[in-house]
Structure 1
Amino acid sequence: MNFFEIINPNIEKLTKNEYEILDYVIKHMNEIHNQNIREVAAACFVSTTTFLRFVRKIGFSGYSEFTTVIKYTVLNDQEKPAATATFDMKQSDYREEYLKNIEETVRVLDDNKLNSLCELMMNRPKIFIFAKGFSKYAAEYVEYLYTLEGFLVVFPKNFEQRKLAYRNIGKDDLVFVMSYSGDDQELIRIIQVIKNQCDFASLVSVTGANNNSIQNLSDYNLYVFSDEIHDKKIEITSHVSMIVIMELLLYQFREYKGGQENV
C-alpha cells in the first residue's frame, strides 16, 4: 500500500500542528523508515504520545505499520519504471487515473499554507516563476493568469534569463519553483543562491509528492500527484495538477482579498 493513498482520506482532519508534522514526514521519508519513534518525535518537537496519536489519525494502526509503509513507498518510487507511453493503457483506465491524480492534488492542499501565501500576496510582491522543461508550458499560463490579477510577474524562459532574474529578487518577493521531479540541479542552485542572501524572498515549491531536494529547500511546499510518463525518452507527464494548484491559490487570494476589504 502506498503511503499517500492511506493518508489522503484523513488529510482534512488534521490540525495546523499536525499538518506541520506531516510536512516533516513527507520531506524526510528516506530517513524516517530507519528511525524509532523517539527520534522522529524529537525531530518534530513533540512527545512520542503525540506522534503516535498523529500516526493513528492519518490512518495507521501503529508506528510499525507507519514505517513499513513509508519504506515500501520509498523503495517503490525508486524502483518503479516510467511508463513508456500514454497509449499503453486503455483510455477509460487513463481517464480514471488522470482524474484521481487531480482529485488527490486538491485534497492534500493545506488551507493554512494557502492562507499564509494569500497574506503575503496582499502586499503585492513581485512574483518570480522558475520552471524548465515541460513545466515551462504550465508556468506560461500561470504567468498570464497572475498578470491579469495585477501582479508583476517575472518568468525567465532560458538559462541566461534565469541567471539574471534571480539577482533581482528582493526580500519581500514571492518565488515559485515548478518542477515535477524536484531534483533539477540548475533550479536547486538558484534556490541556494537566494537562500544564501542576507534577506531572501519566500520560496514556494510546486513538485511531485515524493521527497525531493527542491521541496526540502523551500518555505512552502505544494504537492502534485501525476503519473510520470515518457514516450521515446521524452517526458510527457501531465502538468495539469500544477495549473490546478496555482489556479486555486489565485482564487483563494481573490476570496481572501475580498474578506480583508470588507473588514
Structure 2
Amino acid sequence: MNFFEIVNPHLASLTDNERTLFDFVIKHMNAIKGMSIREVAAETFVSTATFIRFVKKIGFSGYSEFITVIKYTDLDQQQDVEPKPFVVNQKDYREEYLKNIQESVRVIRPETLHRITRKMSEHPDIFFFTKGISKHAAEYINYLYTMAGFKVHYPRDSDYRTMAMAQVNANSLVFIMTYDGNDGELLSMMNKFVEQPKKPLLVSVTEADNNMIQNLSDINLYIFTDDVKINNQDISSRISTIAIMELILYQWMEDYGE
C-alpha cells in the first residue's frame, strides 16, 4: 500500500488548484501524517470539504485512509534497511563510482536512443528542466547541445521555468533531469505537459527507483549513483546524468551528423 502508486493514475485529471494541494502534500508528507483534516485545510487555505473532495479524487476513500497510507509509505521507507542496487554505501567509492556510470549507460536500449535521436533530427526546441545539484550538470549539458547547433532552453530558476513552460509545444523535446523523481514543482510541470492536446516528447533522467516523474514520461532513463552527503548536503555524483546526455548527443551524431 504505497501512496505514490495509488495517486499516480489520477494525477492527469487534477485541476490547477488541486495540483497546488498535491504539491503541498508531497512537500509536507512527514508533517501531514500527524495533522487533523482541519489543520491541513487551514495550512492549504481551503475548506475541509474541499480537501476531502481532493483526497477522494486522488484515490482514497477518505481522510483516514489518506493519512494511514502516508504513514505506511513513510514506515516502509524507514524500514527499508537493505541497500538498494542503485544506492550503495561503500568505503571503496572509486570502484563503485565507475560501476555506476557503466550501469547507467549499459541499461539504455538502442531503440530508446534512436527514438530520441529521431526527434533530435527534426531540430526541435530542446528544453532542460532541472533543480538542485543536477543544475550544475545541466550547465555543461546545455553547453554541449548548444555547440552542436540545437536551439536549447535552460531556465535556471523557478520563474524562468514557468516562463519556459509556455514555450513548450508538440514539436519540443523536453528533458527533466532530477535524481528525486517525486519533486513537487517538476511533477506539476509534467502534469501540465501531459495534459496538452499535443504534448511534447518527455524524457526524464531520474533515480532508478519507481517514481512519479518516471511514470509520466514517454521515455525514462535511469542514473545509478552512491548516496553521498557531507555537512548534511547532498553531493551525490551526477556524472551518470552527464554520461547519458553525452551518449544521446553522440548517437545523434552517428545517426544524423556529418
The TM-score bracket by the shorter chain reads 0.5 to 0.7
- SS of 1:182's partner is coil
5+ residue gaps, structure 2: 7-75, 84-88
Aligned-pair identity in percent equals: 46
Gap change, CA 1:77 and 1:124, over 3 Å in 2: farther
What is the correspondence of 1:39-188 to structure 2 with a 5 Å cutoff? 79-80=80-81, 90=91, 93-188=92-187
Q: Give the CA deviation at 1:198.
A: 1.1
5+ residue gaps, structure 1: 1-28, 32-74, 83-87
2:103 maps to a residue whose letter is E
Quick check: 1:125–1:172 contact (8 Å CA) kept in 2? yes
Q: Give the CA deviation at 1:232.
A: 2.3
Aligned Cα root-mean-square deviation (Å): 2.3
Q: Give the CA deviation at 1:209.
A: 0.7
Q: Identify the residue that residue 197 of structure 1 maps to in structure 2.
A: 196
Q: Give the CA deviation at 1:80.
A: 4.2
Quick check: 1:129–1:156 contact (8 Å CA) kept in 2? yes
Q: Give the CA deviation at 1:122.
A: 0.5
- SS of 1:168's partner is coil
1:79 maps to a residue whose letter is D
2:105 maps to a residue whose letter is V
Quick check: 2:90–2:96 contact (8 Å CA) kept in 1? no
Once residues 97 and 80 of structure 1 are traced to their aligned partners in structure 2, the CA distance between those partners, rounded to angstroms, is 19
Q: Identify the residue that residue 219 of structure 1 maps to in structure 2.
A: 218
Q: Give the CA deviation at 1:216.
A: 0.5
How many residues are paired up?
181
Gap change, CA 1:96 and 1:77, over 3 Å in 2: farther
Q: Deviations over 1:105-138 (max 9, x none)?
A: 1110111110011111110000000000000001
Quick check: 1:129–1:178 contact (8 Å CA) kept in 2? yes
Quick check: 1:30–1:211 contact (8 Å CA) kept in 2? no
Once residues 110 and 139 of structure 1 are traced to their aligned partners in structure 2, the CA distance between those partners, rounded to angstroms, is 23
1:228 maps to a residue whose letter is D
> TM-score if structure 2 supplies the norm length?
0.66
1:99 maps to a residue whose letter is L
Once residues 223 and 168 of structure 1 are traced to their aligned partners in structure 2, the CA distance between those partners, rounded to angstroms, is 27
Q: Deviations over 1:119-176 (max 9, x none)?
A: 1111000000000000000111110000011000000000100011011101110000
Q: Give the CA deviation at 1:200.
A: 1.2
